[in-house]
Amino acid sequence: MTRKARGERTIRLERSPKLDGIGIFSVRAGTTRAYYVLHEIPCAIGGRGFAVHRLGLGSLYHVRIGPPEDCSCECLGFLAHGRCRHILGLLALARRDKI
């Protein structure tokens, strides 16, 4: 059995957190778009910490980004596979100096 290829996934900053600390970003996978609110929080163990909340679902995740050893997330994807869209998305926004 072959695995079906995933569609392209894109992330877009909808509202910059640089104004008041609260930002909104969206993730598009195929024809589906999900919106998230982010807020940077203190992280004493390395990397940058964020509280990320998906709008409409009530799921709140604490996400840490930085070098690979400093990346973590509370979502089931990260817990099962060691990677997730939250980390990949926030890293992409950080690389472009959006957050």
Give the contacts of 66 (CB within 8 A, at least 6 positions apart).
Answer: 46, 47, 48
* pLDDT computed for residue 5 by the predictor: 52
* pLDDT computed for residue 6 by the predictor: 60
Angstrom distance (rounded) from CA 51 to CA 60: 7
Query: Tens digit of pLDDT for each residue in 64-93?
Result: 999 999 899 999 999 999 989 899 999 999
Helix (H, G, I), strand (E, B) or coil at 93: helix
Query: Tens digit of pLDDT for each residue in 6-22?
Result: 668 899 999 999 889 99
Q: How far is CA 86 from CA 3, 6, 57, in A?
A: 23, 17, 15
